[in-house]
Chain A
Amino acid sequence: MKPLLNKTTKPFIIYVLIILVISVPIYYLVVDAIWKHELDEHNEIVAKKTAFQINSLKLSDQKLLETIKLWNEVQPTTNIQNVEKNDNFKDSIFIIEKPHDFLHFEEIDRFRCLSKIIYLNKKPYRFNIETNIEESQETIFFISLTTVILFILIVGGLLILNSRLSKSVWKPFRETLDKLKTFSLNNETKIEFSPTDVAEFDELNQSLGKLIEHNISVYKTQKEFTENASHELQTPLAILKNKLDILLQNEDLTEKQYHIAEEMNRALSRSSRINKNLLLLAKIENNQFDNSEINFDELLNQSMEILQEHFEQKNISVHSEISSPVKVSGNIGLTEVLINNLILNAIRHTPANGSIGIKLSQSIFEISNSGTEKLNPDLLFKRFSRFSKDNNGSGLGLAIVKEICKSQNWTIDYQFGNN
């Protein structure tokens, strides 16, 4: 996962890069055009000024020829020539590249030239002037260099600014996020977001607040529904049960009918058991139980005593190693349910003449029984997932065990081994 900042910075930097790259030829063209324009103006002025000043000397023709000659010698960048015969008398502007006349190293320079007809003593002369202009590659080089430096400054500045800003700008967002992380539907406590002056975050907080409030109320309704539905079901179940009890007293009842009633009674007991277990699950999830210090070993011994006859009935040998005392923090009622469910589950799923091991140490309570195949540990503690063919269980026993563990901060695990 990339931080949000990277996502915005990268395209931004790419955009800056593209613009700066495009800017290099644009700058070049603009700078070059300004150069040329200025130099053309300059050349024009020099030509006009030269003509004006020579004319204002009011030289004789002879003197003029000497002056022109002298001029041509001392002014290397300009020269004045007689008009050739085939001259078209037009001005021309052009660029030439050549080595300097007066420098000896081989450097090519670029010149902006003007060739113009000027009139000296009313006779036409061709005036040539060349002015050094920056070479294209030099212009491009310096513009590029500037661009690169600017690019580095923009990117560097952007990164520093962004990392600084993000710390302060995203602060309310992070606070909101931290609060969301600690939120649990079970607690049913609303989150109070700290006020922020950023419109987006304020909107976010308000929307989250509404969402959470809605969720809490839906969750509450759902939990209440489970509880209410279970309660409401108890009464019709009670009526059915009682009517069956009365039916059994009927003197005309045949043995066949009695057995049908008895089957109905068993099914009814199972549904009321499922109902009670659902209610218990809802209550555990609602945290309706308080914890206190309890003696786990005493509860375990009690439960084993009560279930003793059921071990005997299936001729199951019990191997127990119970440390004493084992004091834990938990709810007595729930812990009893946990122990009973686990042991009963073991009794139900142990074949006759099998064995059950019960071990209790300071930190571990372990129940093992002889079995033939490995069970799917993912489904084992799920509600209504059954593995055996007998359908007598409520399908909630181990789900309850798991919920109890969760509510008391214990962990539960299933293993299948070869001994």
Chain B
Amino acid sequence: MKILIIEDETELAKSVAEYLSEENYLCEFAFTFYEAMYKIETFQYDCIILDIMLPDGNGLKILEELKKQNKQDGVIIVSAKNALEDKIKGLQLGADDYLTKPFHLSELMARIYSIIRRKQFNNSNIISQNELQIDLLAKTVSVNNEIIALTKKEFDLLIYFIGNKNKVISKSTLAEHLSGDFADMLDNHDFVYAHVKNLKKKLNDAGCDRYLKTVYGTGYKWENS
């Protein structure tokens, strides 16, 4: 999978690349607007991570260029601005997702995963891992061909874990994913524990292997060897 990271902050770009590289993602960088323009014209990427606030140009122009050239690359906009107008404009210009800085790498990776899945498997988007099958379009999960009923949050968590295979995800990261902006306003993150416990139980009861491991007491990891 080829990913282009358009980001003027080298440290940020490097972190993203490092996190992604372990999972078959091949990352390339563009640190300036012109570098980015050159790369999108020349190469094809599965997903582009686009910081729209570049020192030498507006990232939204890159998006316009992609659309003009009729390129099918998936695009996630990353911005320090949490401005609704930018978000709407970006999505209208054909971006697939919008993420506000600061974000967790696991969040970014989960989103990249679902964008690539969506782009590549338009009609039947089914993730399989041994006895487990997830239909991303129908939003159903089945173990050994038997559908199990998950709540919206449990399904959401499952996709998040699948998108972050073999990565340690902390409870607070999951809390931020599940409750968005106001996670840190909550006294404790025990609700995460409750959701994960229910998900684990439902999968195990249906005969699914224990892919979801608890690590360091409060962290989680989806293992897929």
Q: Chain A interface (Cβ within 8 Å of chain B)?
A: 231, 234-235, 237-243, 245-246, 248-249, 253, 255, 258-259, 261-262, 265-266, 268-270, 272-273, 276, 279, 306, 309-310, 313, 333, 340, 344-345, 347-348, 390, 392-394, 397
Contacts and interface: CB of A to CB of B under 8 A. Distances in A.
B101 to A, nearest CB: 4
Interface of B: 9, 11-12, 15-16, 18-19, 22, 80-82, 84, 101-106, 167-173, 176, 179, 181-187, 190-191, 194, 215-219
Given A240-B102, A245-B105, A348 B186 contact: yes
Contact of B12 (A235, A269, A276): A235
B182 A239 contact: no
A38 B215 CA distance: 127
Given A239-B9, A246-B15, A394 B194 contact: no
Contacts of B11: 239
A89 B186 CA distance: 125
Contacts of B219: 248, 258, 262
A258 B185 contact: no
Given A237-B101, A237-B102, A272-B102, A393 B190 contact: no
A273 B185 contact: yes
A159 B84 CA distance: 63
B189 to A, nearest CB: 9
* Pairs of residues from A and B, 5 with the lowest C-beta to C-beta distance, nearest first: A238-B102, A242-B15, A258-B216, A234-B80, A245-B105
Nearest to A344: B185
Given A240-B102, A259-B217, A270-B184, 19 more contacts: A231-B80, A235-B80, A238-B103, A245-B19, A245-B173, A246-B18, A248-B169, A248-B219, A253-B216, A258-B217, A265-B173, A276-B82, A306-B179, A309-B191, A333-B84, A390-B187, A392-B185, A394-B185, A397-B185
A269 B176 contact: yes
A134 to B, nearest CB: 95
Contacts of B190: 313
Interface of A is mostly: helix
Nearest to A241: B102
Contact of A249 (B22, B102, B218): B22
Contact of B172 (A234, A266, A333, A347): A266
19 contacts: A231-B81, A234-B80, A235-B80, A235-B101, A239-B15, A242-B12, A246-B105, A248-B219, A249-B168, A258-B168, A258-B170, A258-B215, A258-B217, A266-B184, A272-B102, A309-B194, A310-B186, A313-B194, A397-B185
Contacts of A309: 191, 194
A262 B80 contact: no
Nearest to B189: A266
A262 B218 contact: yes
Contacts of A248: 167-170, 219
Contacts of A237: 101-102
Given A246-B105, A248-B168, A258-B216, A238 B12 contact: yes
A11 B18 CA distance: 85
A42 to B, nearest CB: 104
A392 B19 contact: no
Nearest to A337: B181
Contacts of A273: 181, 184-185
Given A265-B173, A269-B172, A273-B185, A245 B9 contact: no
B101 A238 contact: yes
A390 B179 CA distance: 20
A348 B12 CA distance: 34
A238 B176 CA distance: 14
Nearest to B171: A262
Nearest to B180: A306
Contacts of B84: 333
B187 A245 contact: no
Contacts of B183: 269
A268 B19 CA distance: 19
B174 to A, nearest CB: 11
Given A248-B168, A255-B217, A344 B186 contact: yes
Given A242-B12, A246-B105, A393 B172 contact: no
